[in-house]
A and B are shown apart, each in its own frame.
Chain A
């Protein structure tokens, strides 16, 4: 599959960021950061399941669940001392959770570069979000393969 389509959820987040000035974009990223959900109880005791995203300077871990109906659930955890990384993870969790496998795999890989944060946060840091998205998609593929 080569076609890419941005799901409505992520397009909405992008539009919200682009409607703001640079400083307000940082504030909204901080809001996302504060909204990153706690891990569900069944995962709190299982740090081993989570994959570390090495490209992020701060420790951030993700885990993808694909239901039998092909619905993707994304879980992420990052320390409070790393609000930017938490914000990136939170955007993806809010935008991706509940999408179908095909919808997730169709997300353009350059989505992080299109939400107006490169200037406020710096292109170097945005790379961490690109890596988060890349690893999420890889985990989705791996889960689907495991089910076949």
Chain B
């Protein structure tokens, strides 16, 4: 059972307005059958300090990542996880979180890998909800477990692996990290732990559009005209061309993936979750340093 869409005017310009809900909409629909609210944060304890009444918590690291393989959990584990949170295959899932919905977008992307149809983000995330004075509670949510089918994860459409990126070179790439990470000037001071990649720089030809550019001051997504200016005019993305986004481990680029796929309506958008921690440590893959995108190497 799905819950009606938020028909706010603000969302009407987006390619898929049904992927967003406002705080006003969510507060009005809390407790409605078929709706499950999920909080997903960078900080594993933030939910415990207070959350939207009835919301359940899904942690990107301890819940969604496989504890052994560098991969996401498989169908059986996903079914157990979300079924235990009271989510059915036909539930409307609204995800929100800290840091402009950074981790919420990551969770949404993982739900999409499993083909969960109706999954939306709360525009503005946790901070705006609190800033607007909407209800927060520390009361533990105790959902009744439901049956969620074991579905196979489908990586092909929205997930890119390293070899996919190599084959993709020549088509648009978006590097959503900070300018310092992109140029490769970010250094690791003596005695500080390593950042997790052996080389610095970016994938040749990638345009640098830091992920948070898509968010306004209050954490909501920018209106479609501004997003067009950033991604179409600024980064040169055009209709019909496949695009891959990446960052350090694929979380910030999930946010950009959401913007490109659901708000701007690009058809073929993939997230390279191996991202820089894989590319920057892989032997003999091409790398460009400096603030210019650089050329695609001849093959």
Interface residues, chain A, with chain B CB atoms under 8 Å away: 26-27, 29-30, 33, 54-55, 57-58, 80-85, 87, 119-122, 124-125, 127, 130-131, 134, 138
A120-B62, A122-B61 known; A30 vs B45 contact (CB < 8 Å)? yes
Interface size on B (CB < 8 Å)? 15
A122-B61, A122-B62, A124-B61 known; A84 vs B193 contact (CB < 8 Å)? no
Nearest Cβ on chain B to A84's Cβ, whole angstroms: 5
Residues of A within 8 A of B43 (CB): 58, 81-85
B44: Cβ under 8 A from any A Cβ: yes
Partner of B45, one of A55, A57, A84, A119: A84
The answer for the CA separation of A134 and B193 in the assembled complex, in Å, is 9
Does B193 lie within 8 Å of A55, measured CB to CB? yes
Does A81 lie within 8 Å of B48, measured CB to CB? no
| 24 examples of A-B residue contacts, CB within 8 angstroms | A26-B44, A30-B45, A30-B48, A55-B193, A80-B49, A81-B43, A81-B98, A83-B45, A83-B48, A84-B44, A84-B45, A84-B46, A87-B45, A120-B62, A121-B44, A122-B44, A122-B59, A125-B61, A127-B193, A130-B193, A131-B193, A134-B191, A134-B192, A134-B193
Nearest Cβ on chain B to A25's Cβ, whole angstroms: 11
B278: Cβ under 8 A from any A Cβ: no
Residues of B within 8 A of A134 (CB): 191-193
Residues of A within 8 A of B90 (CB): none
Residues of B within 8 A of A131 (CB): 192-193
B267: Cβ under 8 A from any A Cβ: no
Most buried by B among A30, A119, A127, A130: A30
